[in-house]
């Protein structure tokens, strides 16, 4: 039996489940500051006809609006899936202090897989990264979602 999930990751996984119920790929994201939730998002690409409406992007936009700044340097992003290149780039530009994610994304991830964006010399900001938090649940959500569509 493992440790209980930190509340922000629990919320990110719940948002991922909501995304799946809405027919979106199950990914959820939460942004915290000083331990409090500032913003959240879930995948909304199909509903919004917006290819950039990944959970992370939705949460980053909401946090920037809520805090009145594009610099989120004292915030942590909790996401149920390793961010893609677009989202990793936005995380760096937002100056997110820490990134916590559940499942790795071997095909589309850009943090510990693929281009490993934060390790590139052209990346000017590197958040503290920790993956695997709630990995089993997140991976099961994704497996179930794609299995149901085949």
One-character DSSP codes across 12-46: HHHHHHHHHHTTS---EEEEEETTEEEEEEE--HH
Contact (CB, 8 A) for 73 and 105: no
In Å, how far are 24, 107, 123 from 49, measured between CA atoms? 11, 23, 29
In Å, how far are 26, 50, 74, 135, 144 from 8, measured between CA atoms? 16, 25, 15, 14, 22
Ligand-binding annotation for 84, yes or no, is yes
pTM of the model: 0.96
Q: Which of 24, 40, 56, 137 is catalytic?
A: 56
* Pairing, β 128-130 against β 98-103: parallel
Ligand-binding annotation for 54, yes or no, is yes
pLDDT score recorded for residue 149: 83
pLDDT score recorded for residue 124: 93
Sheet with 36-42: strands ordered across = 36-42, 28-33, 75-81, 98-103, 128-130
Ligand-binding annotation for 125, yes or no, is no
User: Which parts of the chain register pLDDT below 50?
Assistant: 1
* Pairwise CA distance, residues 134 & 78, whole Å: 11
Known catalytic residue: 136? no
pLDDT in tens, 91-117: 999 999 999 999 999 999 999 999 999
pLDDT score recorded for residue 2: 63
């Amino acid at each position: 039996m493992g440790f209980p999930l930190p509340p922000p990751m629990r919320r990110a996984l719940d948002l991922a489940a909501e995304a799946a119920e809405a027919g979106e790929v199950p990914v959820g994201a939460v942004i915290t500051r000083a331990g409090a939730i500032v913003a959240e998002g879930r995948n909304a690409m199909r509903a919004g006809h917006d290819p950039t409406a990944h959970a992370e992007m939705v949460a980053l936009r909401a946090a920037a609006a809520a805090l009145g700044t594009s610099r989120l340097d004292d915030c942590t992003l909790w996401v149920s899936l390793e961010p893609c290149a677009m989202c990793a780039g936005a995380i760096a530009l937002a100056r997110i202090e820490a990134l916590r994610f559940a499942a790795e994304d071997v095909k589309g991830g850009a943090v510990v897989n693929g281009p490993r964006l934060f390790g590139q010399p052209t990346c000017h900001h590197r958040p503290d990264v920790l993956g695997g938090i709630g990995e089993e649940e997140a991976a099961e959500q994704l497996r179930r979602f794609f299995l149901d569509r085949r």
